[in-house]
Chains A and B, each alone.
Chain A
Amino acid sequence: MAKLLFICSLLMPGWAMAAIDVYEFDSSEQELLFHQLTKELRCPKCQNQNISDSNAPLAKDLRQKTYELVKQGNDRDQVVDYMAARFGNFVRYDPPMTPATVFLWLGPVCFIAIGLFFVFRHASRPKAKMQVSELATQEQEKLNRILNKDNTE
């Protein structure tokens, strides 16, 4: 009997599948949109996971809500705005430009601009003149003396 039960238990891997949520959609576009959204919405509880990845109860709720909104015919922007209105821009993996994030968007451009400014300034500067040494008369005399001394030896 125990043997039979053991074999039965081996034949029932399907039970493990029951934990995976099943969502049914009206069209394949909706399904695609749902999968796209659950991958680009960030879970507020388990940061650095999207709501598709995360097992947190909150992520599950957000998946369910996303499903309902998609099923009602909302488009991508409407669903993302709905979530952002409640959880803030934190839920977007693609944050919009706001006063708080403007530096992140424009910072790199600024640094490139500053770099280019210095490169061009350096390039357009007239080549440093060959330093024709204009020796003071005293130094010239001194040089002559030394050279002459060498010659005489």
Chain B
Amino acid sequence: MSKKQRLLIFLVPLVLFLVACIFLFKGLFSDPTKLESALIGQPVPAFTLQDIYQPEKQHDASIFKGKPMLLNVWATWCPTCYAEHTYLNKLAAEGIFIVGMNYKDDRKKAIRWLNELGDPYQISLFDKDGMLGLDLGVYGAPETYLIDSQGIIRYRHVGDVNDQVWNNTLLPLFKEMK
């Protein structure tokens, strides 16, 4: 057996082992409950939903055109939504356009929540039956979608938006969007 062959026999398992190590090590820090949206690169699905304050006012998918914005899915039954609400208020104060979608909730409770905690949403949709939620693939509130000026979904974040998530993940993507 030549020296080269011998070296190869030792090196190949070592390389395989190292690759497996990297793969498994990465697995330690990935969160399997965070799923990538199936709608990345696709327009916001068609919908007609009532405004949360005025039941007679209807919104459709055309509200997502014109400028980059966030779509925040929230509900009063969701504790994490409560946690992120202050941060959303802060973003709204900085001039970020946020559309809120109240998901499978009670209108009265939702309005009380917005009155008491502040309303960061330029437009508030009321998705009582979770129809738009289902079309968006919402599987856990809160979820925040980045939508570009053409109404195309560019990113979805599952979980609360906080300083770290905004500055490290969402803001760079938001700035990139047109």
Contacts and interface: CB of A to CB of B under 8 A. Distances in A.
Interface in B63-81: none
Nearest to A59: B139
B104 A87 contact: no
B135 interface: yes
Interface string A49-71: 00000000110011001000000
B130 interface: yes
Nearest to B33: A47
Interface string B97-121: 0000000100000000000000000
Contact of B35 (A58, A61, A62, A88): A88
B36 interface: yes
A90 interface: yes
Contacts of B134: 61-62, 65, 86
B73 to A, nearest CB: 12
Nearest to A62: B134
Consensus secondary structure, chain B interface: loop
Nearest to A58: B139
Interface string B128-164: 0010001111011000000000000000000000000
A87 B33 contact: no
Contacts of A57: 104
A44 B38 contact: no
A45 B139 contact: yes
A86 B137 contact: yes
Nearest to A85: B38
Interface string B28-72: 000011011111000000000000000000000000000000000
A86 B135 contact: yes
A87 B139 CA distance: 8
A3 to B, nearest CB: 40
B32 A86 contact: no
A89 B38 CA distance: 8
A143 B38 CA distance: 81
25 contacts: A44-B139, A45-B139, A47-B32, A47-B33, A57-B104, A61-B130, A62-B134, A65-B134, A84-B38, A85-B38, A86-B38, A86-B39, A86-B134, A86-B135, A86-B136, A86-B137, A87-B35, A87-B38, A87-B137, A87-B139, A88-B35, A88-B36, A88-B37, A88-B38, A89-B38
Interface of B: 32-33, 35-39, 104, 130, 134-137, 139-140
Given A45-B139, A90-B35, 10 more contacts: A58-B139, A65-B134, A85-B38, A86-B136, A86-B137, A87-B137, A87-B139, A88-B36, A88-B38, A88-B137
